[in-house]
A and B are shown apart, each in its own frame.
Chain A
Amino acid sequence: MARILLNNVTKRYGKFKELAVDNFNMDIKDQEFLVFLGPSGCGKSTTLRMVAGLEDISEGEIYIGDTLVNDYPPKDRDISMVFQNYALYPNLTVYENIAFGLRIRKMPKHEIEAAVKRAADVLEIGNFLNRKPRELSGGQRQRVALGRAIVRSPQAFLMDEPLSNLDAKLRVQMRAEIIRLHRTIGVTTIYVTHDQIEAMTMGDRIVVMNKGVIQQVDTPEQIYHKPQNLFVAKFIGNQPMNFFEGTIEEINGYLTFSTQTFSIRLTDKQTKMFNQLRGVSYNIIMGIRPEYMSFEKEMFDVYPNAVLKGVLQFNEFIGSDHYYHLDSQGRESFTVRAHPRFSYREGEEVRVAIDMEKVLFFDSKTEKLLTI
């Protein structure tokens, strides 16, 4: 068990020295479950593979525990890795798959047997130790892969999208199982995924990446509620956040956010923030999640000056909720999450209140979250 430290780690590929990972700095705490999240091709796997030693580091330093491992081969880094496609040895039985690393390390036979048995018990794969990988289901295979990872009691687990080959139901189940595993053995884990639900439910902290650059490192709550820039705001959230382009203006002595179709009054706190930021008439992008826009009467009472009108375009019903897609004067469109008891028809004009406490403002030039 150990902390993992990445200092200015950079990776360039190929003849043209294309940047795959750009100046990556990260301090992963002992026993932490850290998730790399980002769109395809953003450099998650590359970073993970550099930690594993499967990929050379172009610049920077990687420490595992207190050891600088830049020049260590994978086997000497005391890590284990789980791959998306399981990567089991197809010619060996489940037992031999798990025992492989131990045999190479010349562990005495009875100790191997005990270790494999322990791992098999934890993962409940004791019943098919004598089978070949091809005789197992996807979920069972991934369990064997996990068994192979834990049996060596390494300092860290590296997992590269271990669940993305499984079907939805199994994924949920395995997700819980990996979390349980992490709780019981408490090994530092780096987990790569492009599935934000996985990231949110599993990570102690999430690293959101884009184009090889870290966008934000934070707890799931912070990532969701306080995305530090537009990219994170857009990337996180099953139903995308609503964005409105506009400016901050002073109207009747109050600071307001105005778009082409509506104006809403800022709260005192937000007014204070913009005053400190020296400014009115910024070009601003306002972000608000669908669940913080509402048809509820109480909301209109609390924020009477943060109301806009929209025409219902279509309605997504997902069981527990409705997602109403609205359109304001054909210029701005947005989505509102509502309780199923609200039922509007397409083409109807409705009023929506905004929960001003949850509104986020981004500078439209730097795309950064505005805060004080």
Chain B
Amino acid sequence: MKMIEVLRNFAQESKWKWSNFLLEIKRLDRTQYIILFFLTIASIFMLLPIVYIFNHAFKPLHELFLFPPTFIVQDPTFQNFIELLTLTSNTFVPVSRFIFNSVIVTVLATIAMVVTSALCAYALSKHPFPGSKLVFSLIMISLLFVPQVLQIPRYVVVESLGIMNTYWGHVLPLIAMPVGVFLMKQFIDQVPNEVLEAAKIDGASEFGMFFRIVMPIVTPAIATIAIISFQSAWGNTETSQLFMQDESMKTLPYYMMSLTANLANSVARQGAAAAGALIMFLPQFIMFLFFQRKVIATMAHSGIK
């Protein structure tokens, strides 16, 4: 439990201070030192791919093919990025278009997913209606489906809505987010009913209560859901593959996929792929850094009361 407390203290500290960190460390006992040791090793290990992605993207061609591969780039260059851009400048759709699509789709989808999850969870948690438990169970059960199972019905729906080759076709299929509803409901459940009743007596409308009281209280959950939905929207290739016949409506991850699809044994485009990987990775990384304190707060459950 003390570990969680330490984590939480980190999460709540407005500024990271080494002196505080060392103080916290001193409070741990021996088993916790051992745990800390292994966690440190594990986290360094997990960090390696990230370091690798960053370095790889800046390696000149000859370094890319070194054997054994090197971790740290010796002779950094922007060559790969230039290759990525020029590679596509003379094709039908330039890579900038894919990036543009991705940004729009991801922003729209992330906002829509967070808002929808929150509204849905609020209704399920604070305005129970006959059958609301069943609805929640159904939402939970939908977690069990493998996405592939849903591809065909989804195609039929998107097709009949007439939103093929539009941004709607990218965004709408992503909006329903069972994990988000679940997470959000756990948090909203913890908001005491009396707080909402007090607001009601104070004269707040239903939307007033939702936006001015509930949402600010559950910001850790919002941050978490924002990260999850950002990741799923940013990395999503399915909608491009299924619903976008128009090349100019496809997104970056789809392009990356086709770029690397038959790359395994080839020499060409290795640099472009490495640069692309970094471009794919960077927004998620930034997003996570941005929200990570809140997310740790969610995990350590510093929560609400």
Contacts and interface: CB of A to CB of B under 8 A. Distances in A.
B202 A87 contact: no
B237 to A, nearest CB: 38
Contact of B216 (A74, A91, A100): A91
Which of B200, B201, B216, B305 gathers most chain A CB within 10 Å? Answer: B201
Contact of A91 (B202, B203, B204, B217): B217
Given A88-B195, A90-B195, A90-B305, A80 B201 contact: yes
A54 B200 contact: yes
B49 interface: no
A81 B217 contact: no
Contacts of A81: 197-198, 201
A153 interface: no
Contact of B217 (A80, A84, A90): A90
Q: Is the interface of A mostly helix, strand, loop or mixed?
A: loop
A12 B129 CA distance: 18
A87 B198 contact: yes
Interface of B: 192, 194-195, 197-204, 208, 213, 216-217, 304-305
Which of A53, A85, A91, A104 gathers most chain B CB within 10 Å? Answer: A91
Nearest to B304: A90
Contacts of A110: none
B194 A83 contact: yes
A104 B208 CA distance: 9
A83 B202 CA distance: 13
A364 B208 CA distance: 56
A101 interface: yes
Given A85-B194, A88-B195, A74 B213 contact: no
Contacts of A73: 200
Interface in A1-46: none
Counting from the closest, the 5 A-B pairs by CB-CB distance are A101-B202, A87-B194, A91-B216, A75-B203, A104-B203
Contacts of B197: 52, 54, 74, 81, 83, 87
Interface in A40-80: 52-54, 73-75, 79-80
Nearest to B204: A104
14 contacts: A52-B201, A54-B197, A75-B200, A80-B201, A80-B202, A83-B194, A84-B194, A87-B198, A88-B195, A89-B198, A89-B213, A90-B195, A92-B216, A101-B201
Contacts of A84: 194
B211 to A, nearest CB: 11
Contacts of B216: 91-92
Nearest to A158: B201
A331 interface: no
Interface in A75-119: 75, 79-81, 83-85, 87-92, 100-101, 104-105
Nearest to B197: A54
A89 B201 contact: no
A100 B194 CA distance: 15
Contacts of B305: 90, 134
Nearest to B196: A87
B201 A79 contact: yes
Contacts of A83: 194, 197-198
Given A75-B200, A81-B198, A100-B202, 20 more contacts: A52-B197, A73-B200, A74-B201, A75-B204, A79-B201, A80-B201, A83-B197, A83-B198, A84-B194, A87-B192, A87-B194, A87-B197, A88-B195, A89-B213, A90-B304, A91-B217, A100-B204, A104-B202, A104-B204, A104-B208
A148 interface: yes
B194 A148 contact: no
A293 to B, nearest CB: 45
A32 to B, nearest CB: 21
A148 B197 CA distance: 13
Given A90-B217, A90-B305, A91-B217, A75 B194 contact: no
A104 B199 CA distance: 10
A53 B217 CA distance: 25
Contacts of A80: 201-202
Contacts of A100: 199, 202, 204
Nearest to A89: B213
Contacts of A79: 201
A73 B204 CA distance: 11
Nearest to A105: B203
Nearest to A154: B201
A87 B195 contact: yes
A85 B195 CA distance: 9
Which of B194, B204, B208 gathers most chain A CB within 10 Å? Answer: B194
A316 to B, nearest CB: 38
A74 B199 CA distance: 10
Contacts of B304: 90
Contacts of B200: 54, 73-75
Nearest to B208: A104
B257 to A, nearest CB: 42
B83 to A, nearest CB: 49
Contacts of B202: 75, 80, 100-101, 104, 148, 152
Nearest to A90: B217
Contacts of A75: 200-204
A73 B202 CA distance: 11
A87 B204 CA distance: 15
A92 to B, nearest CB: 8
B38 to A, nearest CB: 34
Contacts of A54: 197, 200-201
A140 B217 CA distance: 21
Nearest to B201: A74
A91 B198 contact: no
A91 B208 contact: no
A90 to B, nearest CB: 6
Contacts of B194: 83-85, 87
B198 to A, nearest CB: 4
